[in-house]
Amino acid sequence: RANPGPERRNRGHGMKIPGIGLWHILSRRYEDGGRTGVCRFDFYIHQLFPEIQSITSCDGLSNLDNKTNLFIADNHMAMLVPPKFKVVVVHQGSAAAHYERDPAWRNPATMAIVESQDAMMSRPNTYFVAPSKWVYEQFQIRHGAYAVDHIPHWVPVVKQPPRGNRPLTIIGDWRD
């Protein structure tokens, strides 16, 4: 594995929730070479809940019991989880805000993320958590009042692989 990041075996001693299957759906994990804030969140949620399963697809999971399985998703990834399951969406950022302020980020794929974030607001069995005041406010502005909690979480800086000549891209606003 090239640049695998933190190993799962070093993930501490977390809590166990008896009788509940925990799943975290994300696009890339540290183990896959991912280095985003969502990957860091995945790493640290494993410290709290070591039994959580990190997945990049929900294929084959629709036969699970919807009363004993809980999914955690980053924004638009919630739309990949079958609607019968409960999902806690952790808003890591606002795709619409990013799309508006960063012309280099405007393309059909990123517009699809914006549209998925809009769609997730009406997804059944969904609970929303915002990790920063800015993200909380962006979703309030764009989607009006909805049930959301502002639960700030912090992760330490993770060394990034050298960027070479690639320009720096800032995703989100973490000033609070």
Strand partners, 73: 25, 89
CA 153/CA 12 separation, integer angstroms: 18
The confidence score (pLDDT) of residue 129 equals 85
CB-based contacts of 55, cutoff 8 Å, min separation 6: 23, 24, 25, 26, 61
* Residues, the chain: 176
Binned at pLDDT 50, 70 and 90, residue 106 comes out as very high
pLDDT above 90 for 171: no
CA 76/CA 37 separation, integer angstroms: 15
pLDDT above 60 for 170: no
pLDDT above 90 for 158: no
The confidence score (pLDDT) of residue 99 equals 93
39-82 residue pLDDT tens:
888 888 888 888 899 898 888 888 899 889 999 998 888 889 99
Binned at pLDDT 50, 70 and 90, residue 155 comes out as low
Question: Across the chain, what does the average pLDDT equal?
Answer: 78
